[in-house]
Structure 1
Amino acid sequence: MRVDLFDFDLPPERIALRPAEPRDAARLLLLEGDQIEDARVRDLPDLLRAGDILVFNDTRVIPAQLEGRRGEARIGATLHKREGPRRWIAFVRNAKRVRDGDRIEFGAGVSAIASARLADGSIILDFEGEEPVELLLERAGRMPLPPYIAGKRAADARDAEDYQTMFAREEGAVAAPTAALHFTPGLMAALEARGIGHATLTLHVGAGTFLPVKAEDTEDHRMHAEWGRIDPATANRLNAARAAGGRLIAVGTTSLRLLESATGEDGIIRPFEGDTAIFITPGYRFRAIDGLMTNFHLPRSTLFMLVSALMGRERMQAAYAHAIQAGYRFYSYGDASLLLP
């Protein structure tokens, strides 16, 4: 499909620079079939039904944004996929000044060797020393805010908390599964009281999620791989819930993509551990999920293509037009939508 079919105009003032306070006070656009309804995230217990299961991503964002030098050259690096105990693939700013074998000094005693350049322009970095890389990043790194926020303000101490979900446990993401940012312990208790369950899986979100689609046709775009895991107990529980008539509602496109990667043509979710580069566009037949809660996405992005695959492109264009006119806040710190085909 032509990528320009997924374009729309978004006024810059609609981009949220801070999350709602409290988190579950964020607005929620319900799109159920052709019906559009304005609500709040805290209304979820009334919008779902007993037996439904919300599926969250428990990945934890690491301080994956680094600033350093190779000699006199200033080098910026955003880690996006782990390849080994000390090896990461990174998008590098000023990459033309980096050659294989160069040492990049990131300050605070943290350095890495540029080992190789990949076909997409990414560079493999091997971190020096014996300390765990997680400790090195805590010293030298900063929270990797999305470019549409980072371009308007610098990351600060608030982001260290604001950009983590209440489920964040497994370190390894360089972007938050932002739909889950809206949840609070109080909201989870209210959902449980209504018989609405929840489960967790892990997908370490990579910075590739923010890369623009440069191709003119979706057939020519290639997704970056991300590592994920669904354990056997979780797969069994989700299959049992569906068999009993419950709906699986993915909280975030990351949860959805991993669930779809782990599900066969028979609709059975299987344990999964490994990389996925699934790219969902209109025409895709969903096998694992019955609904999606997600924030509002960039024009021409793979994520807007995904929600268009779930609900229909024209329906999503109409829903986004309503959200823009009604003053909804967009992107990672913005409001949410609940999409029920």
Structure 2
Amino acid sequence: MNVKDFDFYLPEELIAQHPLEKRDTSRLMVLDKESGEIKHRVFHDVVEYLNEGDTLVLNNTRVMPARLIGEKEETGGKIEFLLLKRIEGDKWECLAKPGKSARVGRRFTFGEGKLKAEVIEVKEDGNRIVEFYYDGIFEEVLDSLGEMPLPPYIHERLDDRERYQTVYSKEKGSAAAPTAGLHFTKELLKQIQDKGVNVVYLTLHVGLGTFRPVKVENIEEHDMHSEYYHLSKETAEIINETKRRGNKVISVGTTSTRTLETIGDENGFVKEQSGWTNIFIYPGYKFKVVDRLITNFHLPESTLIMLVSTLAGRDHVLNAYNEAVKEKYRFFSFGDAMFIK
């Protein structure tokens, strides 16, 4: 398939620059994956589409304040590191800007020396392996010095860092938020549970590769980025019991979906597991575990719109996206949501 098969016109003014005051008041487009029928609702109405015995699966990863701005030790020149993933101990894979300043052996300081760093390797893709030096606990130092790594299409400053976290975020490790979960409030989750729906959690640490454009014409040649996941025994048992009963597994976000489909066997059952996934879901793929999906509106030609098109059909999805543009839905991380049923 050609990458252009997933293109659509998106006016720039529809890219949401800030979150709504109340999380669950964003708009919700409900798309029937069989008929293509569309309904326009408000996000807190999602509870109407969940049934007793269903299982809602959420990604409880927590975004690190992974953007560090500092200076070169010798010259005071500005440097920016974006932490992507921990290699081991205090060694991290990072994006560096400007790259030409971050050569092997160069040392940098952050927060008036509270944190120091040395570049120890330059990878083929241009990422750096950096070793950090500090007193105390790294996560606490990072919390005090780091900034939230907002996506490149958000140009406005975020005053409240927690608005780029889900209300159930727990496991630190993401460079970006699992944004479909940003619409949930604790009250809405309780309402869902009170209806007899299971609410369970897995972890997938979202990498910045999620924003990486597809640069090949033939999508099958695209190299998918790798991300760390964990699914607990308890969550696996609840999902498997849901499958046995014939109820629905509703995945919140493409990150939860990729984790479940990585672990699931041909019968749709899952097991406790941790590891790295680079699964790329595009039309032709047959879903094993996920029946329904809650997701945001994604970039044209992105791997995310390809995943959504696989579940609901490319024509249905592109029609829905064109409708969303016409109705002025808000797009991307702080935007509105879609429920594929």
Partner of 2:256: 255
Give the TM-score normalised by structure 1.
0.95
Residues 1:89 and 2:93 are matched in the alignment: yes
Residues 1:107 and 2:111 are matched in the alignment: yes
Structure 1 runs (4+) greater than 6 angstroms displaced: none
| Greater shift in the superposed pair: 139-148 or 68-77 | 68-77
Q: How far 1:201 sits from its partner (Å)?
A: 0.5
Separation (CA, whole Å) in 2 of partners of 1:73 and 1:212: 30
Separation (CA, whole Å) in 1 of partners of 2:306 and 2:43: 23
| Matched residue type, 2:146 | G
Separation (CA, whole Å) in 1 of partners of 2:196 and 2:4: 42
Percent of matched pairs sharing the same residue: 43
Partner of 2:220: 219
Separation (CA, whole Å) in 2 of partners of 1:106 and 1:312: 48
| Matched residue type, 1:82 | R
Q: How far 1:97 sits from its partner (Å)?
A: 2.2
Pairs within 5 Å for 1:320-335: 320-335=321-336
What whole-Å deviation, never above 9, does each CA across 1:309-338 have from its counterpart, x for those lacking one?
Answer: 111111111000001111111111111000
Match of 2:46 among 38, 44, 47: 44
Separation (CA, whole Å) in 2 of partners of 1:283 and 1:131: 50
Secondary structure of the residue aligned to 2:309 is helix
Residues 1:153 and 2:156 are matched in the alignment: yes
Separation (CA, whole Å) in 2 of partners of 1:261 and 1:130: 39
| Greater shift in the superposed pair: 261-270 or 226-235 | 261-270
| Greater shift in the superposed pair: 16-25 or 170-179 | 16-25
Pairs within 5 Å for 1:1-341: 1-32=1-32, 33=34, 34-70=36-72, 71-108=75-112, 109-149=114-154, 152-156=155-159, 158=160, 160-340=161-341
What whole-Å deviation, never above 9, does each CA across 1:140-163 have from its counterpart, x for those lacking one?
Answer: 2101111110xx22343x1x1111
Separation (CA, whole Å) in 1 of partners of 2:220 and 2:128: 25
CA contact (8 A) 1:100 1:115 kept: yes
| Matched residue type, 1:131 | G
CA contact (8 A) 2:261 2:288 kept: yes
Secondary structure of the residue aligned to 2:237 is helix
Unaligned stretches of 5+ residues in structure 2: none
Q: How far 1:106 sits from its partner (Å)?
A: 2.5
Separation (CA, whole Å) in 2 of partners of 1:20 and 1:244: 37
Q: How far 1:77 sits from its partner (Å)?
A: 1.6
| Greater shift in the superposed pair: 281-290 or 120-129 | 120-129
| Matched residue type, 1:6 | F
Secondary structure of the residue aligned to 1:147 is coil
Q: How far 1:130 sits from its partner (Å)?
A: 4.4
| Matched residue type, 1:154 | R
Q: How far 1:220 sits from its partner (Å)?
A: 2.5
Give the TM-score normalised by structure 2.
0.95
| Matched residue type, 2:242 | A
Separation (CA, whole Å) in 2 of partners of 1:133 and 1:210: 26
| Matched residue type, 1:248 | V
CA contact (8 A) 2:228 2:276 kept: yes
| Matched residue type, 2:117 | A
What whole-Å deviation, never above 9, does each CA across 1:72-105 have from its counterpart, x for those lacking one?
Answer: 4422221112212312111222112221121122
| Matched residue type, 1:253 | T
Q: What value does the CA root-mean-square deviation take over the aligned residues? A: 1.4
Q: How far 1:40 sits from its partner (Å)?
A: 1.1
| Matched residue type, 2:129 | I
Separation (CA, whole Å) in 2 of partners of 1:30 and 1:120: 39
CA contact (8 A) 2:123 2:129 kept: yes
Secondary structure of the residue aligned to 1:198 is strand
Separation (CA, whole Å) in 1 of partners of 2:143 and 2:230: 25
Separation (CA, whole Å) in 2 of partners of 1:336 and 1:118: 37
| Matched residue type, 1:326 | E
What whole-Å deviation, never above 9, does each CA across 1:4-40 have from its counterpart, x for those lacking one?
Answer: 2111111111111122231111110000121111111
| Matched residue type, 2:204 | L
Unaligned stretches of 5+ residues in structure 1: none
CA contact (8 A) 1:85 1:133 kept: no
Separation (CA, whole Å) in 2 of partners of 1:111 and 1:82: 16
Q: How far 1:193 sits from its partner (Å)?
A: 2.2
User: Structure 1 residues 65, 272: CA separation in 2 closer, same or farther (over 3 Å shift)?
Assistant: same
Q: How far 1:169 sits from its partner (Å)?
A: 0.7
Secondary structure of the residue aligned to 1:192 is helix
